[in-house]
Amino acid sequence: MDKQFRVETFIEADLAELYAAVLEQFEASGSLSLSEMNRALLQTGLLMHLTMMTSLGIVRDEDEVARLDALVERVGGDHLMWSLVEVARKHWRSGTSGSFDVEA
């Protein structure tokens, strides 16, 4: 089933500063539209959050974990940060929670 969402939000304070810094860098490179940049940021966050939720056992149903893992792999397989998602997945599935060493 195809799904479509329009996502709108307001950000402020330090989060707005982070966003402004990312926007400035994307504008300097001149390669992505604002819409594409926002999509890339959302995609990165969703990949990391779903990986964390399935790896740490937040999602308990095994069929749902398998479905979400497959979805993450389909969406993230060609993502710039896919190798980082795989490091996080390996770390969290080892039974360790919290932060992880990206050089591991």
User: Bigger pLDDT: 77 or 40?
Assistant: 40
Tens-place pLDDT, residues 52-94:
888 888 999 999 999 998 988 888 877 767 777 788 778 777 8
> Measuring CA to CA, which residue among 43, 31, 102 is closest to residue 78?
43
> Measuring CA to CA, which residue among 39, 56, 57, 52 is closest to residue 85?
52
Lowest mean pLDDT among 5-14, 20-29, 41-50, 76-85: 76-85
DSSP assignment of 56-95 equals TTSS--HHHHHHHHHHHHHHHTT-TTHHHHHHHHHHHHTT
d(CA 31, CA 19) in angstroms, rounded, equals: 17
The position carrying tokens 């998602």 is 85
Contact 7, 42 (CB under 8 A): yes
